[in-house]
Amino acid sequence: MLRLALKMLYGDRAKYAMLVGGLTFCALLMSQQVSVFCGLMRWTTATLRNVQVPIWVADAKVEQVNEVVAMRDIEVDRVKSVPGVEWAVPLFWGLLNARLPDGSFQAVQLTGLDTATLVGRPGKMLAGRVEDLRLPNAVIVDQVGVKKFKKKGIELKIGSTFEINDKEARVVGLCQSDQSFLGQPYVFTTYDRALEYAPPQRKRLSFVLVQPKPGVDPATVVETIRAIPGLTAYTSDDFFHRTIDWYMKNTGIPISFGTVVVLGIVVGIAIAGQTFYLFVHENLRFMAALKAMGARTRTLAAMVFLQAFAVGLAGYGLGVGAAAMFGFGVLKGGEPPFYMPWQVPVFTGVIILFICCLSALIGLVKIIRAEPAVVFK
Look at 295 and 107; give whichever has higher pLDDT: 107
Nearest Cα to 123, choosing from 48, 191, 54? 48
Residue 310, domain member (yes or no): yes
Helices 343-369 and 297-333: angle between axes, nearest 10 degrees = 150
Do both 114 and 202 map to the same domain?
Answer: yes
Do both 128 and 269 map to the same domain?
Answer: no
- Banded model confidence at residue 155, pLDDT cuts 50, 70, 90: confident
Residue 244, domain member (yes or no): no
Residue 53, domain member (yes or no): no
Final residue before a domain boundary, out of 189, 214, 229: 229
Most confident of 77-81, 197-201, 304-308, 357-361: 77-81
**What is the domain range of residue 216?**
61-229
CB 4 within 8 A of CB 242: no
Residue 148, domain member (yes or no): yes
Confidence at residue 57, expressed as pLDDT on a 0 to 100 scale = 95
pLDDT of 292 above 70: no
- Say whether the peptide bond before residue 336 is cis (omega within 30 degrees of 0): yes
Percent helix / strand / coil, the chain, rounded to 5: 55, 20, 25
- Banded model confidence at residue 293, pLDDT cuts 50, 70, 90: low
pLDDT of 372 above 60: no
pLDDT of 374 above 60: no
Look at 123 and 374; give whichever has higher pLDDT: 123
Average pLDDT of the residues in 93-105: 87
Task: Identify the burial level of 336 via C-beta atoms within 10 angstroms of its C-beta, where 0-12 means exposed, 13-18 middle and 19 or more buried.
Answer: middle
Element of type H or E holding 142: strand 138-142
CA dist., res. 160 & res. 102, Å (int): 12
Do both 71 and 208 map to the same domain?
Answer: yes
Number of H helices, E strands in the chain: 12, 10
CA dist., res. 244 & res. 70, Å (int): 22
pLDDT of 254 above 90: no
Look at 284 and 24; give whichever has higher pLDDT: 24
Across the chain, mean pLDDT equals 84
Confidence at residue 239, expressed as pLDDT on a 0 to 100 scale = 93
- DSSP 8-state assignment for residue 372: G
Average pLDDT of the residues in 98-118: 88
Do both 105 and 130 map to the same domain?
Answer: yes
CA dist., res. 224 & res. 226, Å (int): 5
Do both 102 and 171 map to the same domain?
Answer: yes
Do both 177 and 288 map to the same domain?
Answer: no
Read off the pLDDT of residues 71-93 as tens digits, 9 standing for 90 and up: 999 999 999 999 999 999 999 99
Final residue before a domain boundary, out of 166, 195, 229: 229
The total domain count for the chain is 2
pLDDT of 245 above 60: yes
Do both 325 and 284 map to the same domain?
Answer: yes
- Banded model confidence at residue 309, pLDDT cuts 50, 70, 90: confident
Task: Identify the burial level of 267 via C-beta atoms within 10 angstroms of its C-beta, where 0-12 means exposed, 13-18 middle and 19 or more buried.
Answer: middle
Read off the pLDDT of residues 61-70 as tens digits, 9 standing for 90 and up: 998 988 889 9
Do both 76 and 201 map to the same domain?
Answer: yes
Do both 134 and 210 map to the same domain?
Answer: yes
